[in-house]
Amino acid sequence: MANTVLYPGDTIGVIGSSANAAMLVTTARKMGLRVGAYGSDETSEALQLADFKAVGDGKDKAKLQHFAESCAAIVYDSAHVSTGVVKFLMQYTRVPQGSDLLEMMQDRLLERAFFEQLNVNIAPYATIIDLDDVYQSVNSIGYPCVLKPIQKEWSKGRELVIRTQTDIAKAAGLLDWGTYILESQIDYDREYSLIVARDQDGNQQLFPITEAQSINDEPFKTWVPADVDPAVTSELQRIAGEVGKHVNYVGVFEVGFYLTKSGAIYVKKIVPAPSENGYVFADAATVDEFSEHLRAIAGLPLATPKILTPAVTVAFTQRQVAAIRTQWQIKPNWHFTFYHNRHADDDTVVGHIAVQGDAIRPLLDQLDDTGIWSDEGPADESHPTEN
């Protein structure tokens, strides 16, 4: 691919209304780029911060075309963006992230076929068409396992954890929605993440490995440096590098991993966009993931991420804001980021905190001692897989 450079004053478009979109807008403007934002919520922070905005959904072809023709390049903010929208935009401007990796990661069967092509460990699974398939497959998959729609966008409210044979009957109604997979739940010991930057020529730059904790399929706490064995580090980096060699993608993406007590490594997921687990680098490293993402998109040389200080990031919800306000007054090593959600309910994640210090364990203890997150924790002892 020819290296196409964006210079200060050139226009870049951001698709999406998430916290990621707002951070992309802010970072691009700091780089001197003119920024347009497209999303369905005109009150979102991304659209409010951009130099110009277009309010519309993924079906408004005229608005999408006009937006694309106004931008030298477009980036998308998350793995939830419609591949149809991305493909449409690519007819009128550059979308360096492309649609290939996004499309694979939105379809669980395509995703698993990609992982199998790379010859990496993934949770055992079976394709499910009807209830008989569940009864036949559960013997090889084992308990506990989880039934998930192939299309990730359908997952909310349509997944079922199966712990015993009596749970299988509950799947009957779900299977009317279409094809599913039945996947074993990995009893993992640690969760790691690797952010990879890939430039327009296929060169890669790996961020330091982060250790993470997720709750209800969403990132919760993330920290660097991670406590990880050198042999495990080498293997995680090798797998992430192999992913980068086999995708048509420019920008940063995340590869998530599970590590079992026996030392087995499983690939959990790939996120074809900046990731919440990468937020920690804004307060811990020489370069953050949004800057690196836009450097790749703009055709600049990739920076080398190095950890400057141990740090932990933790998300907080609207329900926890009052307690966060108390810590605001007394914690000199806490750095607060608010997402400016206009329509947040009590359980909506509305920001995150980054805590800096000399070592990770005291930072985690400091967070625990506040009691703010005392009701949070893994959904159950078997650590259900999230992908």
Q: Where residue 341 falls among pLDDT bands split at 50, 70, 90? A: confident
**For 11-95, which CATH class?**
alpha beta
pTM of the model: 0.93
Residue type, 33: L
Residue 1 CB neighbours (<10 A): 11
Q: Check residues 212 and 382 and name the one with the higher pLDDT.
A: 212
Which tokens is 315 given? Answer: 């998300």
**With 70 as the cut, is the pLDDT of residue 380 above it?**
no
Judge: domain 124-184, CATH 3.30.1490.20.
yes
Q: What is the mean pLDDT of residues 123-152?
A: 93
- Chain centroid offset of residue 82 CA: 15
pLDDT tens per residue across span 70-121: 999 999 999 999 999 999 999 999 999 999 999 999 999 999 999 999 999 9
Phi, psi of 356 (to 5 degrees): -110, 150
Burial class (CB within 10 angstroms; exposed 0-12, middle 13-18, buried 19+) of 341: middle
Alpha helices in the chain (DSSP H): 19-30, 45-49, 61-69, 83-89, 100-106, 108-117, 131-141, 230-245, 281-284, 289-298, 321-328, 360-369
Q: Where residue 381 falls among pLDDT bands split at 50, 70, 90? A: very low
Mean pLDDT of the chain: 92
Q: Where residue 248 falls among pLDDT bands split at 50, 70, 90? A: very high
- What confidence score (pLDDT) does residue 339 get? 93
pLDDT tens per residue across span 198-234: 999 999 999 999 999 987 666 789 999 999 999 999 9
CATH code, 190-369: 3.30.470.20
**With 60 as the cut, is the pLDDT of residue 275 above it?**
yes
**With 50 as the cut, is the pLDDT of residue 378 above it?**
no
**With 70 as the cut, is the pLDDT of residue 167 above it?**
yes
What is d(CA 23, CA 337) in angstroms, rounded to the nearest whole number? Answer: 11
User: What are the E-state strand segments in the chain?
Assistant: 11-15, 34-39, 52-55, 73-76, 125-128, 145-149, 160-162, 180-184, 190-198, 204-206, 210-215, 218-224, 251-259, 265-271, 311-317, 334-338, 349-356
- What confidence score (pLDDT) does residue 174 get? 86
- What confidence score (pLDDT) does residue 385 get? 44
Which tokens is 301 given? Answer: 């040389």
Query: Is the CA virtual torsion 144, 149, 151, 152 positive or negative?
Result: negative
pLDDT tens per residue across span 276-318: 999 999 999 999 999 999 999 999 999 999 999 999 999 999 9
Contact 11, 36 (CB under 8 A): yes
What is d(CA 20, CA 60) in angstroms, rounded to the nearest whole number? Answer: 23
**With 60 as the cut, is the pLDDT of residue 383 above it?**
no
What is d(CA 105, CA 141) in angstroms, rounded to the nearest whole number? Answer: 22
pLDDT tens per residue across span 49-78: 999 999 999 899 999 999 999 999 999 999
Q: Where residue 384 falls among pLDDT bands split at 50, 70, 90? A: very low
**With 70 as the cut, is the pLDDT of residue 382 above it?**
no
The ranges assigned to domains in the chain are 11-95, 124-184, 190-369
Percent of the chain with pLDDT over 70: 94
